[in-house]
Amino acid sequence: MDFRLKVFYSVATNLSFTKASKELYISQPAISKHIHELEMQYKTPLFDRTGSRIVLTRAGELLLSHTNTLLAAYRQLDFEMNLLTDNICGDLRLGASTTIAQYVLPPILSSFIRKFPDIRASLLNGNSHDIEKALCEGKITLGLVEGNARQSSLHYTPFMKDELVVITHTGSKLARYEELTLDQLCTLPLVLRENGSGTLAVLESTLAEHQVKLSQLKVLMQLGSTESIKLFLENSDALAIVSVRAVTRELMSGVLKVIDITDFSAERMFSFVQLQGQSGGLEESFIRYMQAYK
């Protein structure tokens, strides 16, 4: 593949000549030279420069779209050629939403890398919206997300069921409850995940099925990770709604407890997410491995 396209891809996905220079281990003047050559070749600017910021032009967006396709084709070629010699190698660029990245993926990814030591893996962590955006921008090649929201430009493959549960610290005044009605839940202080998280999206849609709006809950605070929520609960008389997979250890050790909600269940699927039409390659092997591991 033309190295200039690799340079362009790095600049376009980072929107920074400096970051591209560090990523590719070449000087910034060399980065600028390669981009200038591409702009001369296509007789059009690929980036608009305003001060220290750069953005893609329409020509740049078109070139990025085709570069993504070319890179995917090269990854597929490398994978299939290596399969001929049973040598599975290459770059696996994953992105996972917070709950999956922290509580589901690490042991599976560790096992996969141990079995295939020639694979270079990276993991981007963020909420589900962040991961879908990174996939569309070509920063990752396979996402793992939570929640029920779906984008038409992406393909989703379910791989694991999850359930949201209401929890509190066992030292909290609220720990006396074993079960609550939904109406009672709406009157008690709650800590939730941030906007954009798959956890919050599932909670919101499940509440809507019971004609309850998120705004009707007594939300003390929204935090960006389940770990932050667990630490918050240690020092407050509040409830939280989180993935049961994120609190398994704390439930077993008696630090946290689950409070049932009468006639209320919030379930969801964790899903792989890829660009529409993308198939095969190292990503497909990882999907098969993860399904078998589960």
State pLDDT tens for residues 38-50: 999 999 999 998 8
Over range 74-89, report the average pLDDT. 67
Nearest by Cα to 190 from 232, 159, 140, 136: 232
Q: How many CA atoms lie within 13 A of 5 on its CB side?
A: 15
Q: Residue 85: pLDDT band by 50, 70, 90 thresholds?
A: low
**Whole-model pTM?**
0.63
For domain 161-266, give the CATH number: 3.40.190.290
| Residue given tokens 């305003």 in the structure block | 50
Q: What is the pLDDT of residues 237-254, one digit of tens each?
A: 999 999 998 999 999 999
pLDDT at 281: 75
Please list the residue range(s) of the chain that carry CATH number 1.10.10.10.
Answer: 1-82
Both tokens of 193, joined, read 């995940």
For domain 1-82, give the CATH number: 1.10.10.10
Please list the residue range(s) of the chain that carry CATH number 3.40.190.10.
Answer: 88-158+268-290
Kindly tell me if the per-residue pLDDT of 91 is higher than 90. Answer: no
Q: How many CA atoms lie within 13 A of 194 on its CB side?
A: 15
Both tokens of 247, joined, read 């609190």
Over range 122-141, report the average pLDDT. 90
Q: Residue 36: pLDDT band by 50, 70, 90 thresholds?
A: very high
pLDDT at 214: 92
Q: Residue 140: pLDDT band by 50, 70, 90 thresholds?
A: very high
Over range 200-209, report the average pLDDT. 91
pLDDT at 73: 77
Least confident of 18-22, 28-32, 77-81, 108-112: 77-81
Architecture of domain 88-158+268-290: 3-Layer(aba) Sandwich (3.40)
Single-letter code of the amino acid located at 6: K
Nearest by Cα to 38 from 73, 2, 77: 2
Containing H/E element for 250? helix 248-253
Q: Residue 87: pLDDT band by 50, 70, 90 thresholds?
A: low
Please list the residue range(s) of the chain that carry CATH number 3.40.190.290.
Answer: 161-266
Q: What is the pLDDT of residues 274-287, one digit of tens each?
A: 988 766 678 888 88
Kindly tell me if the per-residue pLDDT of 118 is higher than 80. Answer: yes
Q: Residue 57: pLDDT band by 50, 70, 90 thresholds?
A: very high
Over range 92-98, report the average pLDDT. 91
Count the helix, strand and coil residues of the chain and give each as a percent rounded to the nearest 5.
50, 25, 25
SS3 223: strand
pLDDT at 86: 60
SS3 141: coil
* Cα–Cα distance measured from residue 193 to residue 229, given in angstroms and rounded to the nearest whole number: 8
Q: Residue 82: pLDDT band by 50, 70, 90 thresholds?
A: low
* Cα–Cα distance measured from residue 70 to residue 68, given in angstroms and rounded to the nearest whole number: 5
* Cα–Cα distance measured from residue 284 to residue 96, given in angstroms and rounded to the nearest whole number: 16
Containing H/E element for 56? strand 53-56
In degrees, rounded to 5, the angle at the alpha carbon of residue 218 between the alpha carbons of residues 212 and 224 is 100
Largest interatomic CA distance in the chain: 72
